[in-house]
Structure 1
Amino acid sequence: MLFGIEWDTSDNLTFAISILPILLRGLVVTIQATILGFFVAMVLGLILAALKAVPSRVVSWPARIISEFLRDTPLLIQLFFLYYVLPEFGLVLPAFMTGALALGLQYSAYLSEVYRAGIEAVPRGQHEAARALDLTGRDTFARIVVPQAIPRIIPAMGNYLVSIMKDVPVLSVVTVLEMLSVARIIGDRTFNYLVPLTMVGAIYLILTLLAAYGVRRLDRALPKTGIPMK
Structure 2
Amino acid sequence: MLFGIEWDTSSNWAFAVSIFPILLKGLLVTLQATVLGFLVAMVLGLILAALKSARLAIISWPAKFITEFIRDTPLLVQLFFLYYVLPEHGIVLPAFLTGALALGVQYSAYLSEVYRAGIESIPRGQTEASRALDLPPVRTFGFIILPQAIPRIIPAMGNYLVSIMKDVPVLSVVTVLEMLNVAKIIGDRTFNYLIPLSMVGLIYLILTIVASYGVRYLDTHLPKRGIPLR
TM bin (shorter chain): over 0.9
Q: Counterpart amino acid of 2:72?
A: D
Instruction: Supply the distance in 2 between the matched residues of 1:6 and 1:108 (Cα, whole angstroms).
Output: 40
TM-score with structure 2 setting the length: 0.99
Are 1:166 and 2:133 an aligned pair?
A: no
Give the corresponding residue for 2:74.
74
Give the corresponding residue for 1:95.
95
Cα displacement string for residues 111-155 of structure 1 (whole angstroms, at most 9, x for unaligned residues)? 000000000000112112212221011111111110000000000
Give the corresponding residue for 2:56.
56
Instruction: Supply the distance in 1 between the matched residues of 2:3 and 2:73 (Cα, whole angstroms).
Output: 36
Unaligned segments of structure 1, at least 5 residues: none
Instruction: Supply the distance in 2 between the matched residues of 1:189 and 1:81 (Cα, whole angstroms).
Output: 31
Give the corresponding residue for 1:155.
155
Q: CA deviation at 1:79?
A: 0.1
Between stretches 30-39 and 135-144, larger displacement belongs to 135-144
Q: Counterpart amino acid of 1:197?
A: L
Matches within 5 A, 1:196-211: 196-211=196-211
Unaligned segments of structure 2, at least 5 residues: none
Give the corresponding residue for 1:9.
9
Identity of aligned residues (%): 77
Q: Counterpart amino acid of 2:95?
A: A
Give the corresponding residue for 1:143.
143
Q: Counterpart amino acid of 2:215?
A: V
Equivalent residue of 1:49, what SS? Answer: helix
Between stretches 113-122 and 133-142, larger displacement belongs to 133-142
Instruction: Supply the distance in 2 between the matched residues of 1:199 and 1:214 (Cα, whole angstroms).
Output: 23
Q: CA deviation at 1:4?
A: 2.0
TM-score with structure 1 setting the length: 0.99
Between stretches 27-36 and 54-63, larger displacement belongs to 54-63
Give the corresponding residue for 2:176.
176
Are 1:194 and 2:201 an aligned pair?
A: no
What do you get for the CA RMSD once the two structures are aligned? 0.6
